[in-house]
Structure 1
Amino acid sequence: ASARNSLITKKEYPLELDVINQEPRIGVFICHCGINIGGYVAVPQVVEYTKTLPNVVYAEDNLYTCSQDTQKRIVEMIKEHKLNRVVVASCTPRTHEPLFRETIREAGLNPYLFEMANIRDQCSWIHMNESEEATEKAKDLVTMAVAKARLLTPLKRVEIDVIQKALVIGGGIAGMVSSLSLAEQGFEVFLIEKEKELGGNLKHIYYTIEGRNVQRFLRRTIEKIKNNRLIKVFTGANIESISGYIGNYETEILLANGTKEKLKHGVVIVATGAQEYQPTEYLYG
């Protein structure tokens, strides 16, 4: 639908500062994360060390750097010390990097003039019984983050056209249900199955533990697939190559009759099933 990924009101940001030709002025905010980091890493010691690093003009520690109060403080410190790069040493960027990028953007900085050092997952949590070593490692991680921040340049987000079609690999029940779900949302689907007919492993199962008829369910699902005009099924087909990137892929398939066909699509769902891995290393097997 056209309303996807849209907001009722668009957030307003201040004009982005032009810092491209400025000498890096880096601010570093080091988090205690309660006792998650502060209980094992000597955070004040890391702060004092950080102040000696090249281009670091401001450094401080925070009990919780992700708190709303600290976000406001980061904005204030960016303005007060004319910071043009920001480093946060705290937990994982996987969950918190978007928050901090948003914060520095609110201060007028490009959101990509930001770097994180993960001194929780990669330091305090794995060195709980080695406080001195954990502290030294935290210094190293911060040093690396500052070195990278020194080289950061502003980036611009660009929008690219996305092919509004999906490729589903595997014609078992998972692949078929995925295809139907996408088609019900209005997207075209290419469903690829290497066998001559759909069904996968479900073809060999007749009843559930509760006594429900699996084959009847399978037949109904296959019928829905065949009757859906948005789903194009290729049975007896194999994938020769996939190229491209998210939103714009091109896949070449080898059909049962020996001819090849190229499909253009925006996403890929891999529903080919799996095999149990039986390791032989590390005394397994």
Structure 2
Amino acid sequence: MKDLKVGVYVCRCGGNISDYVDCDRLRSEASKWPGVAVARVETYLCSKPSQDTIVEDVVRKGLNRVVVACCTPRMHLATFRSVMERAGLNPYLLEFVNVREHCAWVHGSNREAATRKALSLLRAGYEKCLELEPLEPIVEECSRAALVVGGGIAGMTCALELANKGYEVYLVERKASIGGNMAKLTKVFPTLDCAQCILTPKMAEVGRHPNIKLLTLA
């Protein structure tokens, strides 16, 4: 614990969080936790000035763990991992706590309860960050081959898309012929086009495509 210096950053998200959660209380509580060297509240944590603040704190205060409490990681996880790299830290020493979708937006009618839950989520993120270890990406060569199971219209379309992009495709069909259920139809919804007019050209293209190996009765 004595070697850890944690930075905790809480985002107001322009009111999306701070209208429902007491962000200053989160900052105040987090500042008391062991190893927390800095705790801040930012209006837009994803903005360039706030990103620069994190980088500056890492450099000047020697932070080696960062916890951000903001929106969904689906939106900004890559953003803050990039900030970590700019600051010279391993990006996997970041812990991301979602207090917007998981808290503010679902408990907005009760500010006190929303704040308590946000504090609990933040504390959990802080505790997890203490156990984080640096990770490095693993680069492996992969085969440019794909297996497509099922020779219906979807399977054939998938196989052709991959084959046209240069992949070696193995199309596996359990029956003696490809075509699937569409081969039993006369017209297709919603245009009422001739089913065979759509299907048979694809069947022929699959059969002659140099990148597709067709395995029937498989």
Shorter-chain TM-score bucket reads over 0.9
1:57-96 equivalence runs, <5 A: 57-96=37-76
- Cα separation, 2, equivalents of 1:226 and 1:216: 16
Give the counterpart of 2:78 among 89, 98, 106: 98
Find the aligned partners of 2:73 and 2:84 in 1 and give their Cα distance. 15
| Partners of 1:59 and 1:25 in 2: CA distance | 11
Structure whose residues are more often helix by fraction: 2
Corresponding residue for residue 133 of structure 1: 113
Change (3 A) 1:141 1:210: closer
Do 2:7 and 2:38's aligned partners in 1 also have CA atoms closer than 8 Å? yes
**Identity %, equivalent residues:** 38
Alignment correspondent of 1:266 = none
**TM-score of the two chains, using structure 2 as the length reference:** 0.95
Q: Which residue number in structure 2 is paired with residue 225 of structure 1?
A: 206
Instruction: State the Cα RMSD in Å.
Output: 1.5
Matching residue's letter, 1:25: K
1:14 — aligned with what? none
Hey, what does 1:32 align to over in structure 2? 12
Residues 227 and 159 of structure 1, relative CA distance in 2, 3 Å threshold? same
Tell me the distance in 2 between the aligned counterparts of 1:150 and 1:110.
Answer: 14
Q: CA deviation at 1:207?
A: 2.1
Could you say what secondary structure the match of 2:146 adopts? strand
CA contact (8 A) 2:2 2:35 kept: no
CA drift of 1:216 comes to 2.0
Aligned length: 217
Secondary structure of 2:14's aligned partner: coil
Partners of 1:62 and 1:205 in 2: CA distance: 60
Instruction: Please state if 1:175 is matched with 2:147.
Output: no
Among 171, 191, 195, which residue is 2:171 paired with? 191
Shift of residue 22 of structure 1? 7.5
Aligned residue for 1:163, secondary structure, equals: coil
- Contact 2:103/2:117 (CA < 8 Å) preserved in 1? yes
Q: Note the residue ranges of structure 1 that are not aligned, 5 or more in a row.
A: 1-20, 238-285
* 1:51 lines up with 2:13 in the alignment: no
Q: Assess if the C-alpha contact under 8 Å between 2:7 and 2:66 holds in 1.
A: yes
Q: Post-superposition shift, 1:204?
A: 2.2
Could you give the per-residue CA deviations for residues 6-35 of structure 1, whole angstroms, max 9, x where no partner exists?
xxxxxxxxxxxxxxx981100011011112
1: CA distance, partners of 2:28 / 2:2: 25
Over 3 Å counting, the alpha-carbon distance change for 1:22 and 1:181 in structure 2 is farther
Distance 2:120 2:192 in 1: 60
How far apart, in 1, do the equivalents of 2:92 and 2:2 lie? Answer: 16
Structure 2: distance between partners of 1:156 and 1:210: 51
Moved more, 198-207 or 88-97: 198-207
1:168-222 deviation line (CA, Å, top 9, x unaligned): 1221111111111111111100112222221122112222443422202211100
The residue number in structure 2 matching 1:283 is none
Asked if residue 114 in structure 1 is aligned to residue 94 in structure 2, the reply is yes
Counterpart residue number, 1:205: 185
Match of 2:196 in 1: 215
List alignment gaps of at least 5 residues for structure 2: none
Cα drift, residue 226 of structure 1: 0.4
Structure 2: distance between partners of 1:22 and 1:128: 38
